[in-house]
Every structure is written in C-alpha cells, then in structure tokens.
Amino acid sequence: MTFKEQILQGIPNELPPVKTYETQINHAPKRKEILSDAEKKLALQNALRYFEPKHHATLLPEFKAELDKYGRIYMYRFRPDYEMKARPLDDYPGKSNQAKAIMLMIQNNLDYAVAQHPHELITYGGNGAVFQNWAQYLLTMQYLAEMTEEQTLVMYSGHPMGLFPSHKEAPRVVVTNGMVIPNYSKPDDWEKMNALGVSQYGQMTAGSYMYIGPQGIVHGTTITVLNGFRKIKKSPQGSLFVTSGLGGMSGAQPKAGNIAGCVTVCAEVNPKITHIRHSQGWINEIIENIEDLVPRVKKALENKEVISIAYLGNVVEVWERFDAENLTIDLGSDQTSLHNPWAGGYYPIGFTFEESNEMMANNPQQFKEEVQKTLRRHADAINKHTAKGTYFFDYGNAFLLEASRAGAAVMNENPTLGREFKYPSYVQDIMGPMCFDYGFGPFRWVCTSGKPDDLAKTDAIACAVLEEMMQSAPIEIQQQMADNIQWIKGAQENKLVVGSQARILYADAEGRIKIAEAFNQAIAKGEIGPVVLGRDHHDVSGTDSPYRETSNIYDGSRFTADMAIQNVIGDSFRGATWVSIHNGGGVGWGEVINGGFGMVLDGSKEASRRLESMLFWDVNNGISRRSWARNEGAIFAIKRAMETQPLLKVTIPNIVDEHLL
C-alpha cells in the first residue's frame, strides 16, 4: 500500500503482524501499578472498542500483557510501517489543505528526531502525549484525510470523537487534553485515567500538534540566559550557567547557552537522550566522570570558551562538587520534568538510571522518598552557591514547588504575596516584565513545502519586517526588538531545525500580524508554499500557570484560568484552523490550564482577514489581563494597542496611593 492508501485505511480490517519491541528507541518508563482488577478489565474494554469483535480474542491477551508490563495499553501492533516525519503538503491524501497541514504537524510531533518516546506517542516532558495509543493516531489521520472544509474534528484527550457538520470559518479541529473536574486533578488521578485510556497529558504543544523540537524553546531560553546575565551585570563570556535536563524542552538549554556566549554545564541521567542531543549538535561535549568535569570547566572559563558540556549523571553531584571546589556558578537553574516527579521526570541520586526505573515501577513509595531526599539535598547545594553570589531562578518546571513539598529549604524567610519562595521564577524576574507584559512571546511558523529554501525566505521576510518596525518602535521595546532581529539573523547558522522546516521568533501582536501578512502575500505570489502559524502555549495570553506564565500576576488572580479559556474561545471564532486547551503543561497536572492554536496561511484574502483578527486577540487578551493586574509594561502596551485599533476599549486599572493604604 502507498502512504496515502495507508492513511485512508485508518484502523485496518485485518490485523497487522505483531511489532518487534525496538530496544534502541528511547522508551517511556513503566508506569506504576495503579488499577484494581475491575479497573484493568475496564481499561481492556475501553481499548477493544476501537476494534471489530472478531479481533477481540486475539488482541485481549496482547493488550493485557502491555498493561501489565508497561502500565499502559499503547497498541504497539498498530504502529505504522512508514517513516514518521513531516512530509510536504501534497504527499498527504485529503480534501482540505487545512486538514493536510494538521496531519503534517501531527507526524512532526512523532518524528523520531523530535519525539522523546516516539513508540509511546510521547513528544516531550516524559508524559506529553499526542495520542494515548496507535488506534487513535490511525483513526485521527483517516478522519483528517476524509474531512471537508465544512466539518470539524473533535478530539477528546487523544480520542477522535468524530467529524461534525460545521462551516468554513470554524476550526477544522478542536482539541482538549486532560480537562477533568478540578477535584480530580491530583497526579494519581492522571495515572489512573490515563491507564484506563480516558484522559491524557497533552503537555503544551505535544497534544496540540505544535511542537517543533528544542528550537521551540531555544529562543526563549536564549532571551532568559542573556537577560539573566544582564540582571546580574555580567558578560556571558567567561561566565558559567549550570542546569539540568536534556529532554524535549530542556534540551534547548545548552544550545541557548552557546548562542548567549557562556560556558554551560547541563546534567542528564538518561544516556540515550544525552547522546541524541550530542549527535544533533545541541551540546558540544559529553563528560561522564565528575573528576573530569571540574578541570574541563575551569579550563573553559579561563579561556572564555563558548561551550556546552553535558554531564551524564545527577545534577546534585555537580552543585555539590562545584561548591567543594569553590567553582563559581554565575547563573543556575533546573529544567528536569518535575511536573512529573514520580514517573520519570526527576531521578534520585545514588542509583543508576536502570535501578531508578525499576524502583519507580516496582517500589513507587521508595522512589518517591528517594526523590524527595534528593530534592532536599539539591536545594541545600543551591543555597550554598547563592550565598556566594549565584543567581538562581526556577525555570517553571515546578522545581521550587516540589522541593517545598519535600521539605527543602526553599521558602522565603519574609514572604509576600506571590513571592513565597526564596528564589524567583524566571517569568517573575525576566520573561514576565521584559517580554510577556509588552506582548512579546514565542510566535512560530512551519513551511509546509518542507523546503529549506522556503524557511530561509521566511526568515528574510520576518527580519525585514522587524527592521522596518524597529525604526519607529518606542524606547520601551527597543531592546526586545534588537534581540529578536539578532536571533532571526543567526537562525540559519545556529542550525536550529529538527524535523519540520520551522522557526520560532519572539514578537508582539503588531510584529506577528505584519510578519504573517508578509508571508501570506509571498504565498499569493508563489514565492513560497503555504505556511502554518502557531505559538508555544508558554506565551502572553494562552496559559494560566501560577508558578510560571502568570507568576508575575500579583493581584490575587494567578490561580484563576479565565484568560486561557477566553483565549481559546476567542481564537476559535476569529479564524484559527485548530485550537486546543489542556490541563497540565510543564508544571504539573492540576497546576495549569493552557491553550494554543494553529493557523494555515494559503495566500488568500480570507487568510489575511483571519490572521489579523485572530492574532490581535490572541496577544491582547493576555496584555489586558496583565494590565488589569497593574503590571506597568502591560498598561503601556494595551494603551498603545488602543491607539492603533479604535474598536479596542479595555478597562484600565486605577492605582491606589500606597500611603493611603
């Protein structure tokens, strides 16, 4: 069968051969035993409803074996034989180019070079899933290939509910992930519902089909590192940045350190992902022995090298040994997946990677105790460095939250509302006041032709738009504009592409609209193929996350999620091709609500109208909320937006004199 025929087939009528379990692939760890016998029966019933009754006797023992061995039913037998990658738009079957673009984005999320655990349909973060099983993938791709532009596909946590009558202006796909009743948002609730096959953790851009590999995080990480050094008034050259994690998001850190120009040490316990990042050029060197790491770092600092070093081991060893050696760490952070601390997001010190995985599956209580013991030790080592001048920030991965729950010494001795922890989140000190409040966030695009030339052309178009805007930009956003121009000019030489021909560029609403319109005009002229627009959920407006995206909201509303819900509703009727809303994200199940979108530009007048309407709302919804929280930069930005758009009228807060209070 051809690729198109396989897509159109969906779930095959006849069972494909059983697949060999490929040991060289980076697989998800076994999930803990959490279902009762009655619930296991229910999980099997839930899985078998995708298949005709004639196959149930064959599949039942197979699915039971998967559930027993891995803690989930992935349906490995149904994994496609074709290569999983983003193909040019014309390679996909279908009646709608919008639907074809979504198929492209789904396959990119599962590309072996992109996905963390591709055979388990997990893109990043240890549990950030595109689908729960392979039947869902096959059925979704079939629906997308069949749909017209007067239908909408409804996705329930990876399950394609079906195609519903709709209209051309409606989204082609509406996605929800993990949207459970609030009282059932504890980690074990997710474990149980996911094992039952009724809910999934979509992370942010995994379950919304908008992940573009570590590049998607590199730009924001570069901005964070650069501004971290600016904050402490140090040049990156000859300075040291220490962190951990080389996964789908955290893997961006060493590349960002190189772009910023410092020495980066990034610890990772997983050998496979460490070597993958090295082969992709995201890290320069791997060191497996702490005795070798110390002299290498000292030499790099002395010579002011721009280098990234992966330490294959536990990051606590690095913090403790560098303290003993009196080796100065200028910037410090952590980007392990602590939103998922008991299922592979963070590993305890004193055990091999294999020993930890075995303990996680077979003795989860001991694993939890060892993780919490390690968190306390981790925090103690950080405290010793910060006492000597290190600037440490929480990287929005729930490090401080989980460390506090473990009883670590991370609480502020004199807490204020929103500043309960000893250390700030990077959004509080850097990204919030410098970027999000002014509307700057991770705008991204994908060239559906798959041609590197098209990506180069879009880079040039975006750069020209920004340089023109820079000439009249107010002083308040000059630095942001300059950083973004520098980024896009260096995008090609930094070899950021993994998977699809994609780019990320921090921009405000004006920049996003002007860049998108310039793309649409180039498409209309035949200079480039169609382009998919999107963004990270980690943005100005799409995410309510009290310990990350909205951690610099101090009016008491940081635990509310109105903004994220309003964002996805507003995007859906202003022209988005697909919209998504998730529980979970990068800080944990029950800790955040986040939403995203995708929009296909095809060179039409309709696309021009939609992009202006939707992108303006997508950013300014968030600026309005930040303005109402009395954030100075956001008040400036929303007043400026009202000057340019007479139909915009936003409620502005009145500021109370502190002396009166």
**Surface-to-core class of residue 489, CB atoms within 10 Å of its CB (0-12 exposed, 13-18 middle, 19+ buried):** middle
Name 279's Cβ contacts closer than 8 Å, sequence gap at least 6.
none
152 neighbors 170 (Cβ within 8 angstroms): yes
The residue with tokens 């997508």 is: 618
The gap from C-alpha 430 to its chain's centroid, in whole angstroms, comes to 19
The residue with tokens 């997983």 is: 270
Q: Would the annotation count 261 as a binding residue?
A: no
Partners of 534 in the β-ladder? 444, 598
DSSP string of 377-430?
Answer: HHHHHHHHHHTTT-EE-B-SSSHHHHHHHTT-S-EEEEEETTEEESS-BHIIII
d(C-alpha 185, C-alpha 591), whole Å: 8
Helix (H) or strand (E) holding 442: strand 441-447
Residue among 549, 535, 195 nearest 396 (CA): 549
Q: Would the annotation count 586 as a binding residue?
A: yes
445 neighbors 520 (Cβ within 8 angstroms): no
Helix (H) or strand (E) holding 572: helix 562-572
Name 5's Cβ contacts closer than 8 Å, sequence gap at least 6.
none
Which amino acid belongs to residue 520? Answer: N
Q: Would the annotation count 612 as a binding residue?
A: no
399 neighbors 338 (Cβ within 8 angstroms): yes
The residue with tokens 């592979």 is: 344
- What tokens appear for 481 in the block? 């504009």
d(C-alpha 655, C-alpha 652), whole Å: 10
Helix axes 562-572, 605-628, angle to 10 degrees: 170
Please report the sign of the dihedral spanned by the C-alpha atoms of residue 548, residue 554, residue 555, residue 556.
Answer: positive
Q: Would the annotation count 82 as a binding residue?
A: no
End-to-end CA distance of the chain: 74
Residue 295 CB coordination number (10 Å): 10
Helix (H) or strand (E) holding 123: strand 122-124
Which amino acid belongs to residue 402? Answer: E
Q: Would the annotation count 126 as a binding residue?
A: yes
DSSP string of 500-523?
Answer: SSEEEEEE-HHHHHHHHHHHHHHH
- What tokens appear for 488 in the block? 């896009």
Residue among 592, 587, 584 nearest 559 (CA): 592
Q: Which residues are annotated as a binding site?
A: 125-126, 203, 268, 395, 586
Q: Per the annotation, where are the binding residues for NAD(+)?
A: 125-126, 203, 268, 395, 586
